[in-house]
Copies of this chain bind each other. A is one copy, B any other.
Amino acid sequence: MSVQPILVNGQWRASAGKETFQAVDPSNKQPLAEKFPISPWAEIEEVIQHASEAAAAVRGWPGEKFAVFLEDYANRIEARAADIVAIAHRETGLPVEPRLKSAELPRTINQLRQAAASAREGSWANATIDTKSNIRSMLGPIGPVVVFGPNNFPYAYNGIAGGDFASAVAAGNPVIAKGHSSHPGTTLLLAQLCLEAAQATGMPAGFVQLIYRTSHADGYKLVSHPLIGASGYTGARHTGLSLKEAADKGGKQFYCELSSVNPVFILPGALKERAQAVVDDFVGSCLMGTGQFCTNPGLVIVPEGPAGEQFIAGVAAKFEAAPVGTMLSGGVEQNFRAGVAAIQKAGATVVCGNKPADDKRYCFANTLLRVSGDDYLKNPHGLQTEAFGNASLIVVAKDLAQMIAVAKTLEGNLTGCLYTDTQGSDDAAYNQLAPLVREKVGRLLNDKMPTGVAVVSSMNHGGPFPATGHPGFTAVGFPASIWRFAILQSYDNVRAHRLPPALQNKNPSGKQWRLVDGTWSQADVV
């Protein structure tokens, strides 16, 4: 059987690599038919060269060109939705409805269109004009961006279609996509549409390229290569940290989303007021997508006593009653089991689950663990181990002081939630807890679970280390996610006609927001 091709400089071609891999259908553990190549270094080096040529070719292009490409691509994805859903379902085991067809794919198309709108409007570039000194600045493309797609979002974070891809392109950068090994067929199909869109809209040959897999050592060379501008990575912490170290040494930006347990503090008044609603909210969020979300609530802090016990019992009952979802791969199941075991070893006990559920597919019982606040505080690091999947750890805190102590131990997370009552009885506790949680998380929520990530300007899908590598940036939302893939470029005394249009006195579109002498404006400079 022939090996699937890689996309290099506008051409589908056979990889020079001898080694191959196959995806596996997680619903029956059977390898899928198609073979995909592991690319050797010479091939990756060539991809980098072409990306660099593409970066030079599009230098100075107006945002409109990238917008047209992104929109054309979005349309093609929309037109082929049925095929894209079918293959991703087969490769990931994620449900067709509502997940793949009605949630993730529309979100992905929406992200591409929002990125297009940002590129067209141009305000993302933070054009800044100081008329007195005649110095002007704006953000420009950083150079070829490598995007490592994760296993858990075959579309929305896909290396060739997801948020990192869209924001890198919106800034004017070529993308080298590194597809995830668990859904290479989905990635290949998206890349075909991407190439069609690139060709239909006049993008240079090396603007979008695809490889599936490299050796670890070649991955380090790739992210630190002098011709690479930056990388976007979403995935396992260990792999991400190794890649980050290589990129850091080469002076390259490496935006990574590594791990997060997303603490949820449930205060006594909330349980008194609406215990069942909180249980339902939590179980829905925790088991959604078999818990395989970066923002899955993996650490819940409840008060000691009958209300806390009732919460735990309520969750356990629903965990046991709920169907056990299929996991993305054997590796995910294995890591999940190891995570659950590590949490137990660190001091937690099992409330329910923690057992195999169905040998025919990759899965593990919905698992709830618990630990007392006292025991948590003896090993807060070990008890913040991420078990990526359908599990959560409940910390039963003696009192507010112990909740505060737990909050102080938190590592960096994407999100943090506080549930309080609506009558004000939890307000004093909130006022002490929220500031501590605030500084450890990218997004702070009230009375809401963290798993929905809206694609809006104010979203922060990011957070302090080790959730990500830089607490100033978000991977979701426009224009902010674009800023990761941009460099600041100042023009000092540059003659007027030589300035980029966005920095000339006339506002090129009449719609671009520019900071002119300290005032945000869409007007021309007079």
Residues of chain A having any CB pair with chain B under 8 Å: 59-60, 128-130, 132-133, 135-137, 139-140, 142-143, 244-245, 248-253, 412, 415, 430, 434-435, 438-439, 442-448, 450, 454, 456-460, 462, 464-466, 469-474, 480, 483-484, 486-495, 498, 513, 515, 518, 520
Contact = CB atoms under 8 A, between A and B. Distances in A.
Contacts of A495: 446
B252 A465 contact: yes
A427 to B, nearest CB: 9
- Counted per complex, copies of this chain come to 2
Given A438-B489, A448-B493, A469 B251 contact: yes
Nearest to A248: B248
B245 A249 contact: yes
A470 B438 contact: no
Contacts of A488: 442, 460, 462, 471-474, 480
B458 A136 contact: yes
Given A135-B454, A466-B251, A498-B434, A490 B460 contact: yes
Contact of A443 (B59, B252, B253, B490): B490
Given A130-B458, A457-B130, A457-B515, A472 B489 contact: no
Contacts of A135: 454, 456, 458-459
A470 B515 CA distance: 22
Contacts of A487: 439, 442, 464, 471-472
Contact of A520 (B136, B248, B483, B520): B520
B137 A471 contact: no
B430 A498 contact: yes
A9 to B, nearest CB: 20
Contacts of A442: 487-490
